[in-house]
Structure 1
Amino acid sequence: MTGRRRAVLIAGPTASGKSALALELAQAQDGIVVNADAMQIYEVLQVVTARPSDADMALAEHRLYGTVPAAVRFSTGQWLISVSEVMKNADPARPLIFVGGTGLYFDALLNGFADVPEVPAALALQVQQEIQALDGEQRLELLRREDPVAAARLKVVDPQRLTRALAVKQATGRTLSSFQDELSASMLADFLSVDRIVLDPDRDVLRKRIAVRFEQMFGGGAVDEVKVLRALDLDPSLPVMKAIGVREIGDWLDGAIEQDEAIELATIATQQYAKRQRTWFRNRFGDWPRRGA
């Protein structure tokens, strides 16, 4: 049945208007909006992560929003399994509109996925501490010894990549490159059509949107969401605890900073994140049609 299916992929940085475009297309085409954002998958943080409102989700079918408990470390592989369930249960005549800012989700959807086992956080931290004094050449030499295939593929061995490669090998006894060479097939390979869009607003426009949006979030339920999240007493290393706004609002609740500073810090962090997203999409999806917003 996949040969009848159509998909639309809408990527872009935060606050670029992705959700609004997805909703517009879903209403026009009787489509199903499928979340491709790693933070919007979690419960609790609807406002903080700019998840579509309940009112918007009532206007068209939305899937994989707020479905994962905050205490779970949800992986790209798990997201793909969830997507396969959506595909299995959806009418093949209805287009699937994937929308979000997590580039790895789109990459796995289109190009397949290497199912690398999760590494314990304590082990990753230990490895990170062991290599922190190494310079670039020393990092490269260490990776050549531990995973020569991975070393040959990388132009620069930054600490994050080296940490991941070493931790995976210590945890599994296998090199990271050996897992990466076992890609699954693209889930969209047999689709009738796959349209791709990257929303890429002017930088200054995007920065202003981010500033306005977080200020509105602060007064629109974000504080209550962070209170609920903190009451769960979760491991600080969990992905949901690293959502932009959680730490800043938490510091304000603790009296460590003023409200204006919390808003400013969260706004700056969001703008920096949007810059990283734009760079990632330009480097990896440079052939996707671009659209201002």
Structure 2
Amino acid sequence: MLNEKPQVVCLMGPTAAGKTNLAIEMAEKHGYEIVSVDSALIYRGMDIGTAKPDLEMQKRAPHRLIDIKEPTEVYSAADFVSDAKNEIEAILKRGNKPLLVGGTMMYFNALIKGLAKMPQANPEVRKDIEKEAAEFGWSHLHQELERLDPESAKRIHPNDPQRLQRAIEVCRLSGRSMTDLWAEQQQSAGDYQFASIAVMPEERSVLHDRIQQRFDIMMEQGFLAEVEALYARGDLNVDMPSVRCVGYRQIWAYLAGECDLDEAIYRGVVATRQLAKRQVTWLRSWENLQVFDTFDKDLLSKALKSL
């Protein structure tokens, strides 16, 4: 019996892998509509450092779920799932095909596999965790997570305080690990048939070079001025998810006098490469994923044939 559920295509890949170009080709020539799956593209006024599709690109292929929040606002995986489902339904009603594109693997995971029943954030517990981090360092808390939730500790880098804090908070509030709670989650893929494809260069060194080149181009395009404008607002700080975005956090440190500009740029490139490594790690464990080389001359046709 044929699967009668509507197909939703998920186009994944590490940062700077070439997802946007492939997505626009699919949208222009084959009836797809793009929904962004990116935790940084949601913010208004954060364009250059997020490699947000420019106006010309968006004229060719509009992107949903970008520029939907101010940098002061918080946006959760649950918010994304709700918004993405609304966009998917609207696209299907127009008779077109949904194409979800991005590198925020947590969002893809939440949409496809469902959201676990996690305890809500607790300001007091978070304050205690931040106090411990200031006194003993985040690596100390990562060691605690290794004891409480070894699987999450493998996925979460010691230098990723936002996710590390949340994993420990969940353990302390629920008395259970985030891994156990995810295992009990309800499946939410019932309404759709998800097809997952990914694009990336075959050689990691090539991806590293592309990241360096893209960061250099962003600086030429005015990334420093973009972060200066955010810094000057006065209502943002380094603890906010928007400012913690890769690249922004490092340039913010320069503006705060913590390092010189060359060092900030170097740190930004290193942090972006670390992000790409984490994304690739996610993708390697992704079920039923078709992976294509960024530089394949027949990339578009091969990607389409796989769906």
Is there any run of 5+ residues in structure 1 with no aligned partner, and where? 144-149
Secondary structure of the residue that 2:243 maps to in structure 1?
helix
**Aligned ranges for residues 96-245 of structure 1 at < 5 Å?**
96-120=98-122, 123-127=125-129, 129=132, 140=147, 143=148, 164=166, 166-168=168-170, 170-171=172-173, 175-176=176-177, 179-180=181-182, 182-187=184-189, 189-191=190-192, 193-201=193-201, 202-230=203-231, 231-245=233-247
Asked whether the equivalents of residues 22 and 99 of structure 1 are also in contact (C-alpha less than 8 Å), the reply is: yes
TM-score by length of 1: 0.81
Number of residue-to-residue matches in the alignment = 279
Q: Give the letter aligned to residue 112 of structure 1.
A: G
- Give the C-alpha shift of residue 215 in structure 1: 1.0
CA deviations over 1:184-215 (Å, ceiling 9, x no partner): 4324x333x53321212121111111111111
Secondary structure of the residue that 1:114 maps to in structure 2?
coil
Q: Give the letter aligned to residue 199 of structure 1.
A: V
CA deviations over 1:246-268 (Å, ceiling 9, x no partner): 23323444565444333222112
Instruction: Specify the alignment match of 1:89 in structure 2.
Output: 90
Q: Say yes or no: does 1:248 pair with 2:250.
A: yes
Q: Say yes or no: does 1:34 pair with 2:35.
A: yes
Secondary structure of the residue that 1:167 maps to in structure 2?
helix
Instruction: Specify the alignment match of 2:75 in structure 1.
Output: 74
Asked whether the equivalents of residues 36 and 101 of structure 2 are also in contact (C-alpha less than 8 Å), the reply is: yes
Q: Distance in 1 between matches of 2:84 and 2:109?
A: 14
Asked whether the equivalents of residues 13 and 274 of structure 1 are also in contact (C-alpha less than 8 Å), the reply is: yes
TM-score by length of 2: 0.78
Asked whether the equivalents of residues 136 and 157 of structure 1 are also in contact (C-alpha less than 8 Å), the reply is: no
Aligned to 1:280, which of 279, 282, 297?
A: 282
| Percentage of pairs with the same residue | 29
> Quick one: structure 1 residues 184 and 126, their matched pair in 2 at CA, closer, same or farther if it must change by over 3 Å?
same
CA RMSD of aligned residues (A): 3.2
- Give the C-alpha shift of residue 272 in structure 1: 1.6
Is there any run of 5+ residues in structure 2 with no aligned partner, and where? 295-307
Secondary structure of the residue that 1:58 maps to in structure 2?
helix
- Give the C-alpha shift of residue 232 in structure 1: 4.1
